[in-house]
A and B are shown apart, each in its own frame.
Chain A
């Protein structure tokens, strides 16, 4: 029983990290209908930026803020100069552009920071917990708390503010939203800012959690998040979060209890195929 609870806690942590990376992708897809693969590159840059600022200032809070600002700027640049001009083409054109940007940024990171794994020796100031025989380390606690706060803030913005209303309107229909006086291009940019800033948080968190920052750290998230937004329902933010958490838990249970030689990465894609076959709108999506 204790083993199961520990595995569940591991799974929730993994799912939380997936959720933080997937959020940006789900937001962007929801509003632009573009598979923003380059989001994984933003996440990588966030990790590097956080690392360098942390080394320079020794202040983790500044590292988070600095990386979020930098990633937000990067998000706007990608949106203005890559996706916006390509919007008039079929969806695979921006997708190809996006993949190109992902690879290019990975290589730039390698050129600037070197091919090595760089360690991120920061301590997140969160308490440890002993509940019964179960031990929750401070890094696990940090992952839970930070993810929960990000989700809460995002939920608040999208449901309780007029900005959120505009975002939801734009995601339903860009031209209709513009017709009602919403500056939809501005809303698109804001979406990129929010998604990219969350990616920066995810990058730093992953860097500290695994003590590794390296140029290709975005590769696995790049394809796994694609499966996740399909499973969650394309463009559905709550769906993406639920799918991420379920995947994290599913993967740890698979590793911990099923003795089948199935690589864990397969699970996301099996879920994706299942969803496409039986419930193509995803677990939370509506069949628009």
Chain B
């Protein structure tokens, strides 16, 4: 009996020691993603892409001679959930930096927490301004909602030559912020050239857009700007075409998903988005990522995944350049990034935590997003 006890004691000590050693041997990076609930598809995309990035880093020797370990938690795109998990990442897991792979609502809830603890937080694709306003430890690799909204208006007025524009806005942080940017551009640059003929907001879970579209049809616009996610814009595109509306439909990164193409079906042809990822980017790494992702996960990659990949890589690159895993050192390295080659284009720099890079314009052709143009005007893309 005594030996048995001793054996267990020995085992326990062994576990504790190995756990301790293990913990010291890796660099832990946190990830908050919505793996369940309505945003689960985006969460899957972000999580899968970060796993590809992790494999890439570890297969090339890790960072500072250590392996990188990913600690991913499911925040269900919920603010309350995310706050609890942020505390867990900080206190239990002791992560050195965190990738925000979730939506605006949870991301803006956790940003101040990481700020307070001086842990760098890079939001992959959430658009709300408050995230980076939390402080100098918070960064954004996706576009600020207003930047994207302004760019969308530019595309509508300059590239698609729209005169009468209808707005169909998803009624949450994301949709509202985009619409604000859109209207800002219209007021400042498009006075007398184009007008907004109607503006309607719809609730998050909306599925039936016929009532909104019937109203839009009466206004006879030549472009509809739909600020929402793929599960909202997809049905909008489908139902609009079913109802015989032939106006251009312009979406944004929320609609950047292979699922949109599936939901809208053939109606998706000619649908335009402003986004973060150019599928026709010639660079080898981008094509490699697109190919590997589709082979591995049997679904087309999207902007959410590419942005999360970039956010993770930005952190890794900064740890490498800082030669340190201390929060302030990593933060300074991220803030000093210059001309970094990311999947989602060349990052010129971060201004007050906001990324500065070109905005991509894509159009659906033969059931895939393809290159249509790019917005490079510094006045529009600088936050």
**Any chain A CB within 8 A of the CB of B215?**
yes
Q: Would you call A212 and B208 a contact (CB within 8 A)?
A: no
Cβ distance A179 to chain B, nearest Cβ, rounded Å: 46
Q: Would you call A252 and B242 a contact (CB within 8 A)?
A: no
**Any chain B CB within 8 A of the CB of A219?**
yes
A211 and B235 in contact, given A7-B211, A10-B214, A115-B36 (Cβ under 8 angstroms): yes
Which chain A residues lie closer than 8 Å to B299 at the CB level? Answer: 116
Contact of B41 among A10, A107, A116 (CB under 8 A): A116
Bound complex: CA A193 to CA B212 (Å): 36
Question: Interface code A244-288, partner B: CB below 8 Å = 1, 0 otherwise?
Answer: 000000011001100001011100000000000000000000000
Dominant secondary structure at the B interface: helix
Q: Which of A117, A121, A135, A139 has the most CB of B within 10 A?
A: A117
Cβ distance A255 to chain B, nearest Cβ, rounded Å: 4
A10 and B208 in contact, given A117-B263, A211-B238 (Cβ under 8 angstroms): yes
Cβ distance A142 to chain B, nearest Cβ, rounded Å: 13
Q: Would you call A10 and B211 a contact (CB within 8 A)?
A: yes
**Any chain A CB within 8 A of the CB of B231?**
yes
Among B11-54, those with CB < 8 Å from A are 35-38, 40-41, 43-44
Which chain A residues lie closer than 8 Å to B242 at the CB level? Answer: 137, 139
**Any chain B CB within 8 A of the CB of A216?**
yes
Cβ distance B32 to chain A, nearest Cβ, rounded Å: 16
Among A199-225, those with CB < 8 Å from B are 206, 210-212, 214-216, 219-220
Q: Would you call B231 and A265 a contact (CB within 8 A)?
A: no
Q: Which of B202, B214, B217, B238 has the most CB of A within 10 A?
A: B214
Which chain B residues lie closer than 8 Å to A215 at the CB level? Answer: 40
Interface size for B (C-beta < 8 A) is 36
**Any chain A CB within 8 A of the CB of B201?**
yes
**Any chain A CB within 8 A of the CB of B210?**
yes
Contact of A252 among B171, B211, B234 (CB under 8 A): B211
Which chain A residues lie closer than 8 Å to B259 at the CB level? Answer: 116-117
A265 and B211 in contact, given A115-B43, A117-B259, A216-B38 (Cβ under 8 angstroms): no
Cβ distance A44 to chain B, nearest Cβ, rounded Å: 13
**Any chain B CB within 8 A of the CB of A239?**
no
Which chain B residues lie closer than 8 Å to A264 at the CB level? Answer: 202-203, 206
Q: Would you call B210 and A10 a contact (CB within 8 A)?
A: yes
Which chain B residues lie closer than 8 Å to A265 at the CB level? Answer: 203, 205
Contact of A107 among B36, B171, B234, B265 (CB under 8 A): B36
**Any chain B CB within 8 A of the CB of A119?**
yes
Dominant secondary structure at the A interface: helix
**Any chain B CB within 8 A of the CB of A3?**
yes
Q: Would you call A110 and B40 a contact (CB within 8 A)?
A: yes
Q: Would you call A119 and B265 a contact (CB within 8 A)?
A: yes
Q: Would you call A212 and B263 a contact (CB within 8 A)?
A: yes
**Any chain A CB within 8 A of the CB of B341?**
no
Bound complex: CA A121 to CA B36 (Å): 25
Q: Would you call A256 and B171 a contact (CB within 8 A)?
A: no
Q: Would you call B211 and A117 a contact (CB within 8 A)?
A: no
**Any chain B CB within 8 A of the CB of A11?**
yes
**Any chain A CB within 8 A of the CB of B262?**
yes
Bound complex: CA A122 to CA B283 (Å): 40
Bound complex: CA A110 to CA B41 (Å): 10
Q: Would you call B211 and A119 a contact (CB within 8 A)?
A: no
Bound complex: CA A215 to CA B38 (Å): 8
Which chain B residues lie closer than 8 Å to A263 at the CB level? Answer: 171, 201-203
**Any chain A CB within 8 A of the CB of B218?**
yes
**Any chain B CB within 8 A of the CB of A197?**
no
**Any chain A CB within 8 A of the CB of B244?**
yes
Cβ distance B259 to chain A, nearest Cβ, rounded Å: 5
Which chain A residues lie closer than 8 Å to B37 at the CB level? Answer: 216
Among B168-192, those with CB < 8 Å from A are 171
Which chain A residues lie closer than 8 Å to B214 at the CB level? Answer: 3, 6-7, 10, 256
A115 and B41 in contact, given A7-B211, A212-B235 (Cβ under 8 angstroms): yes
A116 and B171 in contact, given A10-B214, A265-B205 (Cβ under 8 angstroms): no
**Any chain A CB within 8 A of the CB of B207?**
yes
Bound complex: CA A135 to CA B263 (Å): 22
Bound complex: CA A214 to CA B214 (Å): 26
Cβ distance B237 to chain A, nearest Cβ, rounded Å: 11
**Any chain A CB within 8 A of the CB of B246?**
no
Question: Interface code B225-247, partner A: CB below 8 Å = 1, 0 otherwise?
Answer: 00000010011001000111000
Which chain A residues lie closer than 8 Å to B215 at the CB level? Answer: 3, 255-256
**Any chain B CB within 8 A of the CB of A14?**
yes
Cβ distance B265 to chain A, nearest Cβ, rounded Å: 7
Question: Interface code B193-226, partner A: CB below 8 Å = 1, 0 otherwise?
Answer: 0000000111101111011101101100000000
> Which residues of B does A touch, CB under 8 Å?
35-38, 40-41, 43-44, 171, 200-203, 205-208, 210-212, 214-215, 217-218, 231, 234-235, 238, 242-244, 259, 262-263, 265, 299
Q: Can you pick out 9 interface pairs between chain A and chain B where the beta carbons lie within 8 Å of each other?
A: A10-B214, A115-B43, A117-B41, A135-B243, A137-B242, A210-B208, A210-B235, A212-B263, A263-B202
Other 4 A-B pairs with CB < 8 A, given A3-B214, A3-B217: A3-B218, A212-B234, A252-B210, A263-B203
8 closest A-B pairs by beta carbon, nearest first, are A115-B40, A252-B211, A255-B211, A10-B210, A263-B203, A116-B41, A210-B207, A220-B205
